[in-house]
Every structure is written in C-alpha cells, then in structure tokens.
C-alpha cells in the first residue's frame, strides 16, 4: 500500500514540478518504510518538499544523517534542515493534546535545529503547530527553558537533550504543505507568531 501510494504521489509531483528527478528520494523513503521508520503521511510531505526544492535547483536529501542524527529533509545548498510534524496525537494523550504536541515539537527543535544553519518545521496545510513561546523569542530565559525541558521529559523518555540544547535551539519558520494541490508556503517566524495568536 505504501509503495503504491508513494509512486502515485510521485507521478503527480513530478508533473506538477516540471519533471524533477525523484528516484533517489522515492527509493530512500521506501527503504525507511520497509525498516518501519516512516509512514505515508510523513513521507508524502518529504516527497513534495523534495520536488519543490529540487525544482528550484537545490540538492535535497531525505533521512539525512548529520552528527549521528537523521534530519527528515536536508537542503544542502542552503544548509537547511527540515523536520516534518503531522500533528498526530495518540489516544493516550487525547485529553492533554496541546501540551503533548508542544512537547513533541519542542523535542524536535532542540534535537535537530542545531544541525543546520536554518531550521524549519514542515506541516500539512490544515495544521498550525503550537510552538512554545520560549523557543521563538530572541532572548531566552533559563527558568523558562528549564520548563521546556520538563515538558519534553513529561511525555518523552530522552536523555540526550540538555539545557544547552535549549539555549542554542532556533527555528526560522514553518513550511505549510498542501498535499492535495502540492503547493508550498514558507512562513517565517514573525508571520508564524501572528498566526499563533489565533490559537489563544
């Protein structure tokens, strides 16, 4: 099912983005699916983004290893790392959904944002991710950053994230991906803050 779906999507994507070469991307996504590391929701966004950046002439890699960690997408010409966040919530977290999502997004930002000079979270177009305010301000408060670490550890068993990771963490914005019409919108962090106000 995964292979059939990803190949169908690839055909649409290649037509939409001027026949860009995606064989290497598709094969790597299939390999990671067969290892049990990805699913069609996640991979569809990786594939569309790969086509978008390749159509602009950039070199793009999926599941790209850097410093012992894997970035969902890496645009080497821009030294840009991208992590996909689909907004999935397990049944066990249905009654604390927002807090759970904040925790998972915080973990991704702290774990991956220092691997490249630019860092974005990619989301489906129907979802605005709840990035904690503590991670999008220019001047970071240690006490508030410790709260972020506590939030991460509340939902995730992780020993590789420390206070220094929170201090160095950054996010340049989000990338909204419309899976139906294959369009991309890159939203910088200042515009994201305006969108985020609607959640309050």
Arithmetic mean of pLDDT, 157-166? 91
According to the 3-state scheme, what is the secondary structure of 111-139?
HHHHHCCEEEEEEECCCCCCCCHHHCCCC
Structural domain tally of the chain?
2
What pLDDT digit, counting tens, does each position of 55-94 carry? 999 999 999 999 999 999 999 999 999 999 999 999 999 9
Residue 199 reports pLDDT greater than 70: no
Domain boundary pick from 76, 104, 127:
76
**Is 88 found in the same domain as 168?**
yes
**Is 141 found in the same domain as 92?**
yes
What mean pLDDT is reported for the chain? 95
**Is 179 found in the same domain as 85?**
yes
**Is 67 found in the same domain as 46?**
yes
Domain boundary pick from 41, 76, 111:
76
Question: Is the CB of residue 131 less than 8 Å from the CB of residue 109?
Answer: yes
Among candidate residues 3, 5, 7, 16, the one with its CA nearest the CA of residue 51: 16
**Is 87 found in the same domain as 70?**
no
**Is 117 found in the same domain as 65?**
no
**Is 59 found in the same domain as 27?**
yes
Q: How far is CA 21 from CA 9, 47, 75, 101, in A?
A: 14, 11, 15, 34
**Is 186 found in the same domain as 107?**
yes
**Is 96 found in the same domain as 65?**
no
Question: Is the CB of residue 121 less than 8 Å from the CB of residue 85?
Answer: yes
Arithmetic mean of pLDDT, 43-53? 98
| pLDDT tier, 194 (very low <50, low <70, confident <90, very high otherwise) | confident
What pLDDT digit, counting tens, does each position of 96-132 carry? 999 999 999 999 999 999 999 999 999 999 999 999 9
Strands 118-124 and 173-177 come out as parallel
Q: What is the pLDDT of residue 195?
A: 83
**Is 167 found in the same domain as 111?**
yes
Domain boundary pick from 25, 60, 76:
76
What pLDDT digit, counting tens, does each position of 133-148 carry? 999 987 788 999 999 9
Q: Residue 104: in which H helix or E strand, if any? A: helix 97-112
**Is 188 found in the same domain as 125?**
yes
Q: Which two tokens stand for residue 75?
A: 């645009």
Print the domain residue range for 193. Answer: 79-200
**Is 88 found in the same domain as 182?**
yes
Q: What is the pLDDT of residue 43?
A: 98
Q: Residue 60: in which H helix or E strand, if any? A: strand 60-66
Q: What is the pLDDT of residue 123?
A: 98
């Amino acid at each position: 099912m995964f292979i059939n779906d990803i190949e169908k999507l690839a055909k649409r994507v290649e037509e939409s983005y001027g026949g860009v070469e995606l064989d290497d991307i598709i094969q790597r996504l299939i390999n990671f699916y067969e290892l049990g590391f990805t699913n069609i929701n996640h991979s569809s966004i990786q594939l569309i983004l790969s086509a978008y950046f390749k159509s602009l002439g950039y070199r793009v890699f999926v599941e790209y290893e850097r410093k012992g960690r894997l970035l969902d997408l890496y645009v080497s010409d821009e030294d840009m790392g991208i992590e996909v966040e689909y907004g999935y919530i397990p049944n066990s977290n249905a009654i604390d959904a927002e807090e759970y999502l904040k925790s998972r997004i915080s973990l991704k930002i702290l774990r991956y944002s220092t691997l490249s000079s630019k860092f974005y979270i990619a989301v489906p177009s129907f979802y605005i991710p709840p990035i904690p305010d503590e991670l999008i301000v220019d001047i970071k408060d240690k006490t508030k950053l410790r709260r972020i670490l506590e939030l991460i550890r509340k939902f995730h068993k992780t020993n590789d994230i420390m206070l220094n990771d929170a201090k160095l963490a950054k996010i340049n914005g989000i990338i909204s991906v419309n899976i139906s019409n294959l369009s991309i919108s890159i939203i910088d962090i200042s515009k994201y803050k305006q969108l985020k106000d609607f959640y309050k």
